Every structure is written in C-alpha cells, then in structure tokens.
Structure 1
Amino acid sequence: MTEPLAQQVFLALGDPMRRELLERLVRQDGQTATELAAELPITRQGVSKHLAILSEAGLVSARQQGRDRRYSFTPGPLHLTVDWISALTRQW
C-alpha cells in the first residue's frame, strides 16, 4: 500500500458521516446523493462533498445513469488497508 493511498483512506474514514455513507452504500448500492441525503441530517451538497472525498480515496465510484449520478462502494482500497494493518500486527 502506498503512503498517499493510506493517507487518503484514513482521512476518508476519519469522519463519522463518511463512514455512515459508506455503510449505506454497502447495504444498498447505486444510490444518488439526493437519496442518501433524504435519510441523513445533512444536505445533498454536504453528502456530495463527503462522496467526493470517499471517491478520491477510491472507496466510492460513480456512474452516470440518465440525469442521475449513482454511487457504489469500491472495496479495493479498504482491502489494501486491512492487509497493510494485518502485516503490521504480525510484526508485533
């Protein structure tokens, strides 16, 4: 795992709202920012900003579907992070 990717993943996961958004996308893939905001105490614009940070870390991907932008969880960076942490703990 590269240092910049690790920093982005930890930064993205460091916020409780971003963790909540990620959990919601794991449970129900392909939601829009509007759909996510409808169930949370945050505006659509706030959700979009959090999704952008998750996307920069590679934890979320977006696809255009008509006029909607649908977001999905991308597990790759999280797997790399878990592997990296596991490797560290084996050294103890």
Structure 2
Amino acid sequence: MLDLMLVDGTGTATSLSQQMSVTRQAVAKHLVVLDRAGLVRSAPAGRERRYRVDDAQLARAVGQLTEVGAAWDARLRRIKQIAETIQRSE
C-alpha cells in the first residue's frame, strides 16, 4: 500500500483497493493504522479521505528498522561464532 502511494503520490481507500486484491474496507482500516502511526497523512477529498505518505516519518521508521536489523545480525553472528567454537572443541 505504501509502495502504491509512493508511486502515485496519494491515494484513497477506493483507488488503492482497485489496485490490490483486498476490499476497500480492509484498505481503509490499514490506512487508519498507518495514519495513527504517522506514516501517512490524510485530508478530506469529497466523500473520501486522500492519503499521502509522510516521507520524513517513513525515513525515521526505516532508520529504526535498519538499526534493529543490524543489532539482530550482530547477535546472530555471535551465536554462530559460539556454535562454531563449541563444534570445533568437540
């Protein structure tokens, strides 16, 4: 959904659901969650709401996820080193 909005610039629940294999209601619920998380912003557009991605907030989220991923990669490398050390000592 975020990818579609990044390509098109904005989207409504109706326009996005037409490009996906989910219902308009499901898209609308996801958009509400993304709005609460601050990843998208909405504005009234007739009977619907038009959503656009908040680029700054998305960049912050990507940065945080990158940090978490790097931390887990380091932990897994350490676990692998320990396992290899145990295996060599047996």
TM-score range, shorter chain: 0.5 to 0.7
Alignment RMSD, CA only? 2.1
With the length of structure 2 as denominator, give the TM-score of the two structures.
0.65
Summarize the Cα distance change of 1:76–1:67 in structure 2 as closer, same or farther, 3 Å threshold: same
CA distance in 2, matches of 1:39, 1:83: 28
Of 2, 26, 44, the match for 1:46:
26
- CA separation of 1:36 and 1:87: change in aligned 2, threshold 3 A: closer
- The equivalences for 1:9-28 within 5 A come to 21-28=1-8
Which of the pair has the greater relative contact order for Cα pairs under 8 Å at 6+ separation? Answer: 1
Structure 1 runs of 4+ with >6 Å offset: none
Computing the radius of gyration from Cα coordinates, the structure with the larger value is: 2
Aligned with 2:52: secondary structure? strand
Q: Show the 5 A alignment for 1:1-92.
A: 21-84=1-64, 89=70
Counterpart CA distance in 2 for 1:79 and 1:48 is 23
Aligned residues between the structures: 71
* 2:54 aligned partner, one-letter code: T
**SS of residue in 2 equivalent to 1:70:** strand
- Whose helix fraction is larger, Structure 1's or Structure 2's? 2
**5+ long unaligned stretches in structure 2:** 75-90
